[in-house]
């Protein structure tokens, strides 16, 4: 049985995707490390440091499925060494003649940091794919609702109208920036690590850098140039990006959460069959995906912050920050993949109630007309007078329970015909133009880039 609720049989789907778990879970983690150990053996064999046969056998047996986890665990605890349990468990399944050649000259971080880079490639790939899918959906919404007027809201209060397409375009544009960041960061992140004890490569004599280069290449990673056992900015940057991505998704979720209030009713999560919102209050439909995006963003920020703190390390290895990374790095990744998956469901199923948006624009006397009215009055009266008189007219009208149209006429600012025209149709300003600009820009970027990362 698992202990962390994030891995609970009942709740695991909320805190990570199966795809990410396949990479970062016990088996995926060990397999990643075994892949690195096998690659190291092959490269050492090529360099004549260990027998070819041993490297072949190590490669063949370096399968998580073959490892006796209980034995590995026992040896880990007995030795208090992070990697020795796995090494001994691998040796236990190897033929006698290959056993000695496992993990020769390596240090734990050579294996785990390189393993993390391999995992990062897969997690980054999932993020790239899912972000592009979300972007595609948001662009669809932007196009579809290019002209769907709704109240803009600032400080929670309705203001000048916007369009829902424009809102979706703003989300898509933020996602696009995350895609840019993912692309730009890849060369920094996808590097291997080989250095031995203090990172000096002393085990390999003169061949150190050459062996490291081949080792990285064998795993499809770039060569770092220098050991980075305590240079931890890479992981911090990556997880901070994931936390930012979660933040963006939580922003989208928050919008749905608020606009799904029945008093507003402009957006709504799709509800799948069988969902029970509340047992005691069976009429309720809760914005569960939306609110969970916020939850995930909080936790992702918290984990990413641990990674930032871990940038400050001492000397050539520093277990304090490094072991914190052991937990925080995969945690951030798991949370982010869950957020991406949930955001896909949310955006793809999103129900947009254009009628409610329209209705809400008309509510409360249509006072969101004010900015447009100000624009029209400004050339007539000058900005200050326009502002003062408009403010007085609207405040007075509101207090008296008039519609904005009545208020504008009452105060002599507009003729009834003007006022009626002014308030008849929401003026969404340049929302449509901005939406077009963003969707066009995104379309070009999408066409120019690969579907796979990196």
Residues 138-157 that bind a copy of itself (CB under 8 A): 152-157
Alpha helices in 199-287 (DSSP H): 208-218, 233-259
Residues of 335-367 as b/e, b for ≥16 C-beta within 10 angstroms? bbbbbbbbbbebbeebebbbebbbebbeeebbb
Angle between helices 233-259 and 319-349 (to 10 degrees): 30
Is 4 an interacting residue with respect to a copy of itself (CB under 8 A)? yes
Determine contact, residues 89/67, Cβ cutoff 8 Å.
Answer: yes
Q: Is 7 among the residues that bind a copy of itself (CB under 8 A)?
A: yes
Does 355 interact with a copy of itself (rule: CB under 8 A)? no
Q: Is 423 in the site for a copy of itself (CB under 8 A)?
A: no
The dihedral formed by the CA atoms of 255, 256, 261 and 263, expressed in degrees to the nearest 10: 70
Q: Does the annotation count 283 as an active-site position?
A: no
Site for a copy of itself, residues 194 to 253, rule: CB under 8 A? 196-206, 208-209, 225-231, 233-234, 236-237, 240, 243-244, 247-248, 250-251
Q: Which of 31, 59, 116, 260 binds a copy of itself (CB under 8 A)?
A: 260
Question: Which residues in 118-137 contact a copy of itself (CB under 8 A)?
Answer: none
Question: How far apart are the C-alpha atoms of 7 and 21, rounded to whole Å?
Answer: 10
Binding segment for a copy of itself (CB under 8 A), chosen from 114-122, 258-266, 336-344, 416-424, is 258-266
How many amino acids of this chain bind a copy of itself (CB under 8 A)? 197
Could you tell me which of 64, 116, 91, 169 has the C-alpha nearest to residue 432?
Answer: 169
- Placement of tokens 């980054």 in the chain: 124
Contact status: 107 vs a copy of itself (CB under 8 A): yes
* φ and ψ of 175, to 5 deg: -60, -40
Minimal distance, residue 203 CB to a copy of itself, in Å? 5
The DSSP call for residue 106 is -
Q: Examine residue 193 and tell whether it contacts a copy of itself (CB under 8 A).
A: no
Residue 35 or 248: the one with the smaller Cβ distance to a copy of itself is 248
Contact flag: residue 275 with a copy of itself (CB under 8 A): yes
User: Active site includes 155?
Assistant: yes
Q: State the catalytic residue, choosing from 79, 200, 278, 420.
A: 278
Q: Which is nearer to a copy of itself, 261 or 400 (CB)?
A: 261
Q: How far apart are CA 190 and CA 116, in angstroms?
A: 9
| 345 CA to centre of own chain | 15
- Which 286-345 positions form the footprint of a copy of itself (CB under 8 A)? 286-288, 291-292, 294-295, 297-299, 301-306, 308-321, 323-324, 326-328, 330-331, 334
- Report d(CA 168, CA 124) in Å as an integer: 24
Among 129, 133, 358, 364, interactor with a copy of itself by CB under 8 A? 364
Catalytic residues: 155, 278
């Amino acid at each position: 049985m698992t202990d962390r609720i994030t891995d609970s049989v009942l709740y695991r789907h909320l805190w990570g995707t199966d795809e990410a778990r396949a990479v970062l879970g016990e088996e995926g983690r060990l397999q990643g490390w075994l892949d690195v150990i096998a690659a190291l053996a092959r490269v050492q064999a090529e360099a004549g440091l260990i027998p070819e046969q041993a490297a072949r056998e190590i490669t063949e047996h370096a399968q998580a499925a073959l490892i006796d986890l209980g034995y590995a665990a026992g040896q880990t605890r007995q030795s208090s060494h992070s990697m020795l349990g796995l090494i001994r468990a691998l040796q236990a399944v190897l033929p006698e003649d290959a056993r000695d050649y496992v993990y020769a000259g390596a240090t734990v971080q050579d294996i785990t940091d390189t393993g993390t880079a391999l995992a990062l490639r897969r997690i980054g790939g999932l993020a790239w794919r899912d972000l592009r899918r979300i972007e595609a959906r948001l662009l669809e919404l932007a196009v579809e609702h290019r002209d769907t007027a709704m109240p803009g809201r600032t400080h929670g209060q309705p203001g000048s109208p916007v369009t829902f397409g424009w809102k979706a375009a703003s989300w898509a544009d933020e996602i696009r920036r995350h895609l840019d960041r993912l692309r730009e960061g890849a060369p920094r992140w996808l590097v291997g690590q080989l250095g031995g004890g203090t990172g000096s490569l002393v085990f390999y004599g003169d061949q150190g850098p050459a062996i490291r280069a081949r080792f990285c290449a064998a795993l499809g990673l770039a060569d770092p140039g220098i050991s980075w056992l305590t240079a931890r900015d890479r992981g911090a940057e990556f997880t901070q990006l994931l936390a930012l991505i979660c933040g963006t998704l939580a922003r989208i979720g928050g919008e749905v959460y608020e606009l799904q209030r029945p008093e507003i009713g402009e957006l709504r999560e799709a509800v799948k069959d069988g969902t029970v919102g509340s047992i005691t209050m069976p009429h309720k439909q809760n914005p569960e995906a939306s609110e969970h995006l916020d939850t995930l963003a909080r936790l992702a920020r918290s984990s990413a912050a641990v990674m930032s703190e871990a940038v400050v390390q001492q000397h050539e290895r520093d277990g304090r920050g490094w072991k914190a990374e052991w937990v925080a790095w995969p945690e951030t990744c798991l949370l982010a993949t869950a957020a991406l998956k949930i955001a896909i469901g949310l955006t793809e199923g999103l129900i947009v109630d254009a009628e409610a948006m329209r209705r809400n624009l008309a509510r409360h006397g249509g006072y969101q007309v004010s900015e447009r009215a100000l624009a029209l009055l400004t050339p007539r009266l000058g900005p200050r007078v326009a502002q003062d008189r408009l403010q007085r007219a609207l405040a007075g009208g509101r207090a008296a329970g008039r519609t904005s149209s009545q208020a504008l006429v009452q105060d002599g600012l507009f003729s009834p015909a003007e006022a009626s025209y002014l308030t008849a149709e929401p003026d969404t300003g340049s929302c449509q133009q901005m939406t077009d600009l963003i969707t066009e820009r995104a379309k070009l970027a999408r066409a120019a880039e690969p579907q796979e990362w990196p």
